[in-house]
């Protein structure tokens, strides 16, 4: 394929991380081909990103056409997809047939010790077929507080999560996007695995205090038990697979597996990771009622 036309195919391009990846690549002058589910979704893309309608359930020809003109792939698993063998592996296979020179996969922190998550199977497959992979293994997204858990904070002035007194080195999705763009545009990152944490570690009580300061009203961390939290999810009608994932996530948190900060963002991008206060100031509107 022509080097002049080579670009990066970005999956999940309308989500928090994918959009950040696309924006950071565009800022570096890269050509970005953004996967979207429909033509109307293209309106959510950053300016200058090329929209390409894509479905993980397509056949081999569709996978090949999706990657046309691209020599790198940013791959992330859509949350509803559990059967990665059926939906993600065909895109990986198409990339290998086209001699894609790098596949950056958005994985999970600690995935190497957690065989029960789909990301583990994707990592192992990429290793087994000797793909030119780069694994990004981020900690908990700061954006979880402004999206998934937003309503509790905005409407009830509370954080209701069974994290105990544990610490978490939260990371901003914007920083993950910057890291992805860096490793996609500089040499030496193939067959590397990067754990991405923030540079500070906080309890949820610390998070509540920062949010209280930023919002000018008291936000409380209620620290429910696991049983109380799961019962509330069930009462609100969440499906069992979602409840099971939440149970696993916060057991990991309570063991302080996610507690340790590092400087991977600084080392890979040349700038420090976003602090939670910087994030809260930037995203303040999400919690204003």
What global pTM score does this model have?
Answer: 0.93
Across residues 211-238, what is the average pLDDT? 96
CATH code assigned at 203:
3.90.25.10
Instruction: Look at residue 82 in the predicted model and tell me its pLDDT.
Output: 85
Reply yes or no on whether the pLDDT at 248 is more than 90.
no
CA-CA distance, 170 to 182, in Å (whole number)?
A: 20
Q: Answer whether residue 285 is part of any domain.
A: yes
Q: How many C-beta atoms surround the C-beta of residue 102 within 10 A? A: 21
Q: Answer whether residue 115 is part of any domain.
A: yes
Reply yes or no on whether the pLDDT at 103 is more than 50.
yes
Shared domain check, 144 and 84: no
Q: Reduce the secondary structure of the chain to three states and give it as a string.
A: CCCCCCEEEECCCCCHHHHHHHHHHHHCCCCEEEEECCHHHHHHCCCCCEEEECCCCCCHHHHHHHCCCEEEEEECCCCCCCCHHHHCHHHHHHHHHCCCCEEEEECCCCHHHCCCCHHHHHHHHHHHCCCCEEEEEECCECHHHHCCCHHHHHHHCEECCCCCCCEECCECHHHHHHHHHHHHCCCCCCCEEEEECCCCCEEHHHHHHHHHHHHCCCCEECCCCHHHHHHHHHHCCCCHHHHHHHHHHHHHHHCCCCCCCCCHHHHHHCCCCCCHHHHHHHCHHHHCC
pLDDT in tens, 174-196: 999 999 999 999 999 999 999 99
Q: Where does the pLDDT of residue 94 fall: very low under 50, low under 70, confident under 90, or very high at 90 and above?
A: very high
Instruction: Look at residue 3 in the predicted model and tell me its pLDDT.
Output: 46
Query: Which tokens hold the place of 86?
Result: 């059926």
Shared domain check, 73 and 85: yes
CA-CA distance, 210 to 91, in Å (whole number)?
A: 42
CATH code assigned at 50:
3.40.50.720
Residue range of the domain that includes 87: 7-138
Reply yes or no on whether the pLDDT at 21 is more than 90.
yes
Across residues 196-202, what is the average pLDDT? 98
Reply yes or no on whether the pLDDT at 41 is more than 90.
no
Across residues 34-50, what is the average pLDDT? 88
Shared domain check, 289 and 164: yes
Shared domain check, 285 and 144: yes
Instruction: Look at residue 2 in the predicted model and tell me its pLDDT.
Output: 41
Shared domain check, 154 and 40: no
Q: Answer whether residue 13 is part of any domain.
A: yes
Shared domain check, 254 and 280: yes
Q: Answer whether residue 181 is part of any domain.
A: no
Shared domain check, 280 and 218: yes
Q: Where does the pLDDT of residue 246 fall: very low under 50, low under 70, confident under 90, or very high at 90 and above?
A: confident
Shared domain check, 158 and 131: no
Q: What angle separates helix 240-254 from helix 226-235, to the nearest 10 degrees?
A: 160
Shared domain check, 154 and 285: yes
Reply yes or no on whether the pLDDT at 38 is more than 50.
yes
Q: Answer whether residue 184 is part of any domain.
A: no
Q: Answer whether residue 243 is part of any domain.
A: yes
Give the residue with greater pLDDT, 75 vs 252.
Answer: 75
Shared domain check, 70 and 155: no
Q: Answer whether residue 182 is part of any domain.
A: no
Q: Where does the pLDDT of residue 163 fall: very low under 50, low under 70, confident under 90, or very high at 90 and above?
A: very high
Q: Answer whether residue 208 is part of any domain.
A: yes
Shared domain check, 161 and 106: no
Reply yes or no on whether the pLDDT at 1 is more than 60.
no
Reply yes or no on whether the pLDDT at 249 is more than 90.
no
Looking at the structure of the chain, the number of domains it has is 2
The chain-wide mean pLDDT, for the chain, equals: 94
Q: Where does the pLDDT of residue 100 fall: very low under 50, low under 70, confident under 90, or very high at 90 and above?
A: very high
Shared domain check, 155 and 128: no
Across residues 152-157, what is the average pLDDT? 97
pLDDT in tens, 112-149: 888 888 899 999 999 999 999 999 999 999 999 999 99
Query: Which tokens hold the place of 148?
Result: 């998934």
Query: Which tokens hold the place of 21?
Result: 């990846």
Q: Where does the pLDDT of residue 5 fall: very low under 50, low under 70, confident under 90, or very high at 90 and above?
A: low
């Amino acid at each position: 394929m022509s080097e002049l036309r080579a670009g990066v195919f970005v999956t999940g391009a309308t989500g928090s991380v994918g959009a950040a990846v696309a924006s950071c690549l565009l800022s570096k002058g890269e050509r970005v081909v953004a996967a979207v589910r429909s033509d109307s979704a293209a309106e959510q893309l950053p300016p200058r990103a090329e929209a390409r309608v894509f479905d993980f359930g397509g056949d081999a020809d569709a996978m090949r056409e999706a990657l046309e003109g691209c020599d790198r792939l940013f791959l992330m698993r859509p949350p509803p997809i559990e059967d990665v063998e059926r939906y993600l592996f065909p895109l990986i296979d198409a990339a290998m047939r086209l001699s894609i020179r790098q596949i950056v996969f958005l994985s999970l922190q600690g995935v190497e010790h957690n065989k029960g998550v789909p990301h583990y199977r994707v990592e192992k497959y990429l290793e087994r077929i000797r793909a030119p992979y780069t694994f990004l293994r981020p900690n908990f997204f700061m954006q979880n507080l402004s999206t998934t858990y937003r309503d509790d904070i905005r409407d009830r002035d509370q954080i209701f999560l069974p994290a105990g007194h544990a610490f978490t080195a939260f990371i901003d999705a914007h920083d993950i996007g910057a890291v992805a763009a860096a490793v996609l545009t500089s040499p030496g990152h193939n067959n590397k695995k990067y754990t991405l944490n923030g540079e500070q570690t906080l309890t949820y009580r610390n998070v509540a205090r920062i949010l209280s300061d930023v919002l000018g009203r008291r936000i409380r961390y209620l620290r429910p038990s696991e049983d109380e939290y799961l019962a509330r999810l069930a009462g609100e009608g969440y499906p069992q697979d979602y409840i099971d994932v939440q149970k696993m996530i916060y057991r990991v948190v309570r063991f302080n597996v996610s507690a340790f900060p590092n400087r991977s963002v600084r080392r890979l991008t040349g700038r420090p990771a976003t602090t939670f206060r910087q994030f809260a100031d930037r995203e303040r509107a999400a919690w204003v009622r």
